[in-house]
Amino acid sequence: MKLKFLKSLLPLVILFTKVNLTAQEKINDKTEPKIQAIIKQLTLEEKIALLHANSIFGTAGVTRLNIPGLMTDDGPLGVREDVKEGWGSANLTTDSATFFPNGSALAATWNPELSYRYGHDLGEEARARKKYIILAPAFNISRTPLCGRTYEYLSEDPFLNARLAVQSVKGIQSQHIAACVKHFALNNQEIERGRVSVEVDERTMREIYLPAFKASITEGNAWTIMSAYNKIRGVYCSENDYLLNKILKGEWGFKGIVISDWGGTHSTVNAANNGLDVEMGSQPPYENYYFANPLLKAVNEGKVSIKTIDEKVHRILWVMYHTSMSENPPAGKMNTEEHSKTVYDIATESIVLLKNEQQLLPLNISTVKSIAVIGDNATRTFHLGGFGAGVKAKYEITALAGLQNRLGKSIDIKFAQGYSGVYKRAGKTEMYEGEKADSNMINQAVALAKTTDIAILFIGGNREYESESRDRKDLSLPFGEQALVDAVTAANPKTIVVVVGGAPYDIGQIKKQNSTIVWSWYNGSENGNALADVLTGKINPSGKFPFTFPVAINQSPAHAFNAYPGDSVVTYKEGLLVGYRWYDTKKIAPLYPFGYGLSYTSFTYSALQTGKKNYKPGETITATIKITNTGNYAGKETVQLYISKPGSQVARADKELKAFKKLMINKGSTVEVKLEIPVQDLAYYDTKNSKWVVEPGQYKLLAGTSSGDIKETGTITIE
Ligand code: BGC
């Protein structure tokens, strides 16, 4: 009797001893009875209809029960325009949207608050357009700088990645719109993405490639996730029991929907039983999809249980109750001034000052009377282009238009194109290369540059050159740009080079020979205004690179191991040593380190102190550091705090980013910054026991302005 009583208490005991509930496990679901009631009323056919596409971005609902279909749309650059079958524009007049800066631009701000605002505004626009699932944010780790989607993704570092991703998700979902975090997981190259199998060791997967996904679910509470095209350890992500059932739904307690990437489903029974919930794609006939008639058949044959189908339907209804069927939904908004301001703030904070040796910047408006603006990227827009998702931008200010807006009245601005940014496919490979230099265009540019006080040269990539579904062939500047830079710099020594791109390029020659270099991105609707305000000093640049720039591609870890792009298998031989973890551990000097970026002012670091010297598991390490603005302008600095574990029992990178903070400091002022690291964040993943372990002993704290420039160090001990 007693035993029986105790046994009946067991579930309660388990319930209350599970600490650290994730965001989704904490939810007190009022909608549960409604969901159960609907599931009871649905026929099997109606349930199946909910599980697959019936148009490029949508699924069927159940009209009989007033259940709407799911309506999704891309992201991440903004809410994509409506398309008809075959991807052509639906030619509506109501689907122009705000174009937000690309992912690596957002990451270069190192500003989680801006990431939230990005998500919030994107969510507002999605709601106005009745797209209840936005296919964003995208944050696969930059394993190789050549990956064609580097511009869409955030960073090479799992911590920066996670901090920004969580905020974007929270922002989007504040509008009762589901974020669809993508691409889960290890979709780190575009070459052969639909076929390649990633071989990665468990620790590397857990410590480098999964943290931002995990944080998006357990902390950000993302309601949907997109399975990636590739395989992991021989199994497609869309039918990967380990990834979807064990890790995502099991360990992380994910209650939402796993949506396949478009056309990324490869089976009925395996996919259904191994964790995929909704099959999307863009090729009709939709009734033949794995999750349409074949799924009905599989259920009738007993290969997929009704329980499994009901569980998927439950997930879909759960997401609908948070989105399309939510209580008190906010009113959506399109193209507002606030959205433009968000774009502007991200864009201005993302721009990275690389070199300013002649102090040409900020531009001295009182002495500069004429400017030669040169380069295709000065007049090119970036909201559309290439294979991937874009936005029909309501407007986009080009760099030239921005300079004219801000300076046109007082300064004579002339333009020469310099190169043609049109490129063509190279040979049979999936990789593309730029076309050669055009000597006529170069001559015109040189002639113009000779006549003006300064030249501002816009080069780099564009949205055709950096694209989904292909990788770049190498790091070289496309379109013969180097020849243009050389010629214009020779003609006018006061040349400012602005490189526009979403991924690292080989700018080694420019770094050597040019005095003034600025990095900009595919910076959204306000691109040109933001850039002009940074060049004139209205805004002091504060962007920092979210990835390492190699001197040459074979320096980059995946390439150093000859472990890219693989054929049917790509083995991540560099393991944990991705990005700066590799360069720092192997003492290789890159072209620009992770976290690099200058300001018009200068900062000094002093007095790194920790709250105490000894910490126990479960506690939070606090570190304070003083930053002084020693230059002539107010400006923002991002303090980066890395840790290092000398004599670790397991292999570890030389250092790992664990905290950062961006703050404004007035000229002449000193600010004390407080950074926190939960002791748990020092853990490594112990593969033998499948758990996170914090090694006791001494750790070094390294505070710096980039991974390559550590200013202050300290030590703490974990008991
Ligand atoms: C991309 C996804 C995108 C989907 C729908 C796929 O090719 O990988 O990121 O959301 O298409 O456009």
661-714 residue pLDDT tens: 999 999 999 999 999 999 999 999 999 999 999 999 999 999 999 999 999 999
**Is residue 481 lining ligand 1, measured as CB closer than 6 Å?**
no
∠ CA 141-145-147, rounded to 5°: 75
**Is residue 74 lining ligand 1, measured as CB closer than 6 Å?**
yes
Query: What is the C-alpha separation between 405 and 397, in angstroms, rounded?
Result: 9
**Is residue 182 lining ligand 1, measured as CB closer than 6 Å?**
yes
**Is residue 135 lining ligand 1, measured as CB closer than 6 Å?**
yes
The pLDDT assigned to 124 comes to 98
**Is residue 464 lining ligand 1, measured as CB closer than 6 Å?**
no
The pLDDT assigned to 14 comes to 44
Query: What is the C-alpha separation between 325 and 249, in angstroms, rounded?
Result: 23
The pLDDT assigned to 30 comes to 84
Question: Which ligand 1 atom is nearest residue 187's CA?
Answer: 8
Catalytic residue among 73, 261, 345, 654: 261
Hey, how many other C-beta atoms are within 10 angstroms of the C-beta on 195? 13
**Is residue 57 lining ligand 1, measured as CB closer than 6 Å?**
no
Question: Which ligand 1 atom is nearest residue 57's CA?
Answer: 5
**Is residue 389 lining ligand 1, measured as CB closer than 6 Å?**
yes
Sequence-distant (≥ 6) Cβ neighbours of residue 242 within 8 angstroms: 232, 233, 235
Residue 397 in tokens: 């200010």
Which residue, by CA, sits nearest to atom 8 of ligand 1? Answer: 261
Segments of 434-521 assigned E as strands: 454-460, 495-500, 516-520
Q: What is the pLDDT of residues 10-36, one digit of tens each?
A: 444 444 445 567 777 776 678 899 999
Question: Which ligand 1 atom is nearest residue 229's CA?
Answer: 8
How many angstroms does the Cα of residue 84 sit away from the middle of ligand 1? Answer: 15
Query: What is the C-alpha separation between 107 and 455, in angstroms, rounded?
Result: 29
Query: What is the C-alpha separation between 418 and 275, in angstroms, rounded?
Result: 52
- Peptide bond before residue 23 is cis, with ω within 30 degrees of 0: no
The pLDDT assigned to 409 comes to 94
**Is residue 152 lining ligand 1, measured as CB closer than 6 Å?**
no
The pLDDT assigned to 108 comes to 99
Sequence-distant (≥ 6) Cβ neighbours of residue 699 within 8 angstroms: 643, 644, 645, 682, 715, 716, 717, 718
**Is residue 133 lining ligand 1, measured as CB closer than 6 Å?**
no
How many angstroms does the Cα of residue 86 sit away from the middle of ligand 1? Answer: 14
The answer to whether residues 390 and 524 touch, using CB atoms and an 8 Å cutoff, is no
How many angstroms does the Cα of residue 282 sit away from the middle of ligand 1? Answer: 10
Query: What is the C-alpha separation between 230 and 225, in angstroms, rounded?
Result: 15
How many angstroms does the Cα of residue 170 sit away from the middle of ligand 1? Answer: 21
Report strand pairing: 133-135 vs 72-74. parallel
Mutate-to-test residue for ligand 1 from 135, 139, 190, highest number of ligand atoms within 8 A of CB: 135
Instruction: Report residue 717: phi and psi, to 5°.
Output: -125, 135
Query: What is the C-alpha separation between 384 and 95, in angstroms, rounded?
Result: 14
Active-site annotation holds for 95: no
Question: Which ligand 1 atom is nearest residue 152's CA?
Answer: 9
Which residue, by CA, sits nearest to atom 2 of ligand 1? Answer: 261
What's the gap between Cα 261 and its chain centre? 17
Angle between helices 112-128 and 158-173 (to 10 degrees): 40
Hey, how many other C-beta atoms are within 10 angstroms of the C-beta on 512? 7
User: In one letter, which amino acid is 203?
Assistant: R
The pLDDT assigned to 15 comes to 44
The pLDDT assigned to 434 comes to 65
How many angstroms does the Cα of residue 237 sit away from the middle of ligand 1? Answer: 15
Residue 382 in tokens: 């970036």
The answer to whether residues 662 and 346 touch, using CB atoms and an 8 Å cutoff, is no
How many angstroms does the Cα of residue 189 sit away from the middle of ligand 1? Answer: 14
DSSP conformational letter for 97:
B
- Closest listed residue to residue 54, CA positions, set 214, 283, 336, 341: 283
User: In one letter, which amino acid is 582?
Assistant: W
CA distance readout (Å), 299 to 37, 106, 181, 291: 21, 45, 29, 11
Residue 212 in tokens: 């931002």
Token pair 């390559």: residue: 708
How many angstroms does the Cα of residue 183 sit away from the middle of ligand 1? Answer: 9
Sequence-distant (≥ 6) Cβ neighbours of residue 346 within 8 angstroms: 100, 101, 105, 106, 109, 111, 114, 117, 118, 523, 524
Segments of 362-520 assigned E as strands: 370-374, 412-416, 424-425, 432-433, 454-460, 495-500, 516-520
Q: Please tell me whether the overall predicted TM-score, pTM, comes out greater than 0.85 for this model.
A: yes
Mutate-to-test residue for ligand 1 from 152, 261, 471, highest number of ligand atoms within 8 A of CB: 261
**Is residue 261 lining ligand 1, measured as CB closer than 6 Å?**
yes
How many angstroms does the Cα of residue 78 sit away from the middle of ligand 1? Answer: 13
The pLDDT assigned to 613 comes to 96
How many angstroms does the Cα of residue 261 sit away from the middle of ligand 1? Answer: 6
b/e string for 335-373 if b means 16 or more Cβ within 10 A? beeebbebbbbbbbbbbbbbbbeeebbbbeeeebeebbb
- Closest listed residue to residue 431, CA positions, set 482, 471, 373, 387: 471
**Is residue 262 lining ligand 1, measured as CB closer than 6 Å?**
yes
C-beta contacts of 552-557 below 8 A and 24+ residues apart:
552/475, 552/506, 552/508, 553/145, 553/146, 553/474, 553/475, 555/583, 555/588, 555/590, 556/144, 556/145, 556/582, 557/143, 557/582
Q: What is the mean pLDDT of each run of 10 residues along the chain (719 residues)?
A: 50 50 74 95 98 97 94 97 92 96 99 98 98 98 98 98 98 98 98 96 98 98 98 98 98 97 98 98 96 98 98 97 95 98 99 98 96 98 94 98 96 97 67 77 98 98 94 94 98 98 98 98 98 98 98 98 96 98 98 98 97 96 98 98 97 98 98 98 98 97 98 97
Question: Which ligand 1 atom is nearest residue 387's CA?
Answer: 7
Which residue, by CA, sits nearest to atom 4 of ligand 1? Answer: 262
